[in-house]
Structure 1
Amino acid sequence: MVDVSNHKLVPDHTVLDAEELEDVLEEYNIRETDLPKIKRADPALPDDAEIGDVIKITRDSRTTDQAVVYRLVVE
């Protein structure tokens, strides 16, 4: 079986800890449930990601070097 999370075209996926999550929610003035969703079954997720976690996805960008997005892990 191929581990797609290690593929060079898959952006970095990182589970946020409670402090980082609080900072993000405060910065954007939102709740966790306002975030876009990502399914737990997504093969790009880290193995330690659980339902209810928030994932930070860092993609390469032509205009800003890196683009950061956040996703809430759902069933």
Structure 2
Amino acid sequence: MKDEYDLSKMKSHKNPYASKLKKSVTMRLSEDVIDYFKEMAEEKGIPYQSLINLYLRDCVAQHREVDISWQSKS
């Protein structure tokens, strides 16, 4: 094994599986939700879409369920 390798002449190849790793979707989100994730993403130094994906992935891993109970008006 060499101590150093010259990678400058190496050709790059696109990952053939990259398109299968994530699926592009269109979602309508409230501005305050987007702002919240953008601010948090800026603090963490990652794109906000990646942060949203990480959050949703955590919800899946933890089997979290949404409580959609509407408050009744008295």
Flag the structure with larger Rg: 2
Q: Verify same fold: TM over 0.5.
A: no
Which has the larger share of helix?
2
Choose between structure 1 and 2 for higher RCO, CA contacts under 8 A separated by at least 6 residues. 1
Q: TM-score, normalised by structure 2?
A: 0.29
Which has the larger share of strand?
1
